Amino acid sequence: MDKFDELKNKFPEIKVNVSLKNYCNYKIGGVAKGVYEANSAEDLVEIVRFSKREGISFYLIGKGTNVLFLDEGFDGLIIVNKTNEIVIMEKGVK
């Protein structure tokens, strides 16, 4: 079992071999090995941590308005942030 299969087992909601055209405002791009839509901050943090720990290539995107995907696709995971609860704070600021 490779690392991507382990990821798929842990996160069964991952869509496999997905056209990236549906995740880009310009409707361009090839196929991604996987796409995961994170609907909560917890899901987002968990999949990013797992991917980093396992060495799985990923990109984190939002609504796709400032994204251009290559026609060659992406041999990794696209994580779509669908949460409304993410707050970025400066280091040391609460």
> Where are the domains positioned within the chain?
3-81
Mean pLDDT value of segment 54-72: 92
Please give the DSSP secondary-structure letter assigned to residue 24. Answer: S
Helix axes 41-54, 3-10, angle to 10 degrees: 160
Q: What is the pLDDT of residue 4?
A: 87
Q: What is the pLDDT of residue 89?
A: 65
More confident residue, 68 or 90: 68
Q: Which CATH architecture has domain 3-81?
A: 2-Layer Sandwich (3.30)
Give the whole-number percent of the chain exceeding pLDDT 70.
88
How far apart (Å, rounded) are the C-alpha atoms in residues 55 and 2? 11
The pTM (predicted TM-score) of the whole model is: 0.86
Mean pLDDT value of segment 20-45: 93
How far apart (Å, rounded) are the C-alpha atoms in residues 2 and 29? 25
